[in-house]
Structure 1
Amino acid sequence: MPAYVIANITTLSENPDLAEYRRRAQATMDPFEGRFVIRGGKVDVREGGWHPVHLSVLEFPTGKHARDWLESPGYREILPLRASVETELVIVENP
């Protein structure tokens, strides 16, 4: 069953490192069959108090694929490029 990584960058600070992270992120997901479903864009909050700043949704075939990607050497290598932003991140597995 598909699993989704939902990430909200809560403090967005555009800089060269973050641009490099974005450029390289997909290549780190490819071995785990991951893809971006949503990568930024306008958010229209209709209920509740959650106000995402920059929302990304990534799809993987399973939760294991998503966790393996997050723990992979390729992803760990680019993670410091994202150090200038604060992020909330969850994995949601489709039952």
Structure 2
Amino acid sequence: MKAYAVGHLHSVTMGPAIVEYVERIEATLAPFGGRYIVHGARPEVKEGSWHGDLIVIEFPDRTAAGAWYASPAYQAIKPLRADNSEGEILLIDGVGAGHKALDVLA
């Protein structure tokens, strides 16, 4: 089952460190089958409020997502982001092709 790394970043200080992070992150994803699904696009807010940027990276499964996050390559660049932004980073499983809303009640 697909899994996702989800980042909600705000208060990003754009500068050399963030530029370096963006330049280097792609290479950390490739060994784990990671690919961008959403990368900072501005949402059309229909309800509530929103601030910040949303990043969604798809992985083949939760094991791959966790291995990417824990990898030495990603850990080496993580401070470039973490020291220059605020936000949440999540790893979360997706649902199978046949998932129905009522499945969560089972």
- The secondary structure found in structure 2 opposite 1:59 is strand
Paired position in structure 1 for 2:101 = none
- Give the structure-1-normalised TM-score: 0.91
Q: Is 1:76 the equivalent of 2:70?
A: no
Q: For 1:38, what is the secondary structure of its paired residue?
A: strand
Task: Report how many residues are paired.
Answer: 94
Identity of aligned residues (%): 35
Structure 2 length as normaliser, TM-score?
0.83
SS in 2 for 1:25: helix
1:10 Cα shift? 1.8
Does the aligned pair in 2 maintain the 1:43–1:52 contact within 8 Å?
no
User: 2:25 corresponds to which letter in structure 1?
Assistant: A
SS at match of 1:13: coil
Which one-letter code corresponds to 1:92 in the other structure?
I
C-alpha displacement of 1:87: 2.0
Could you say which structure has the larger radius of gyration?
2
In structure 2, stretches of 5+ residues that fail to align are 96-106
Extract structure 1 runs of 4+ deviating beyond 3 A.
none
**C-alpha RMSD of matched pairs (Å):** 1.1
SS across alignment from 2:41: coil
Counting only pairs closer than 5 Å after superposition, residues 13-28 of structure 1 correspond to structure 2 as 13-28=13-28
Q: In the aligned structure 2, how far is the partner of 1:92 from the partner of 1:45?
A: 23
Query: Contact 1:12–1:54 (CA<8 Å) still a contact in 2?
Result: no
Instruction: Show structure 1 runs of 5+ residues with no match.
Output: none
Is 1:57 aligned to residue 56 of structure 2?
A: yes
Higher strand share: 1
Residue matched to 1:92: 92
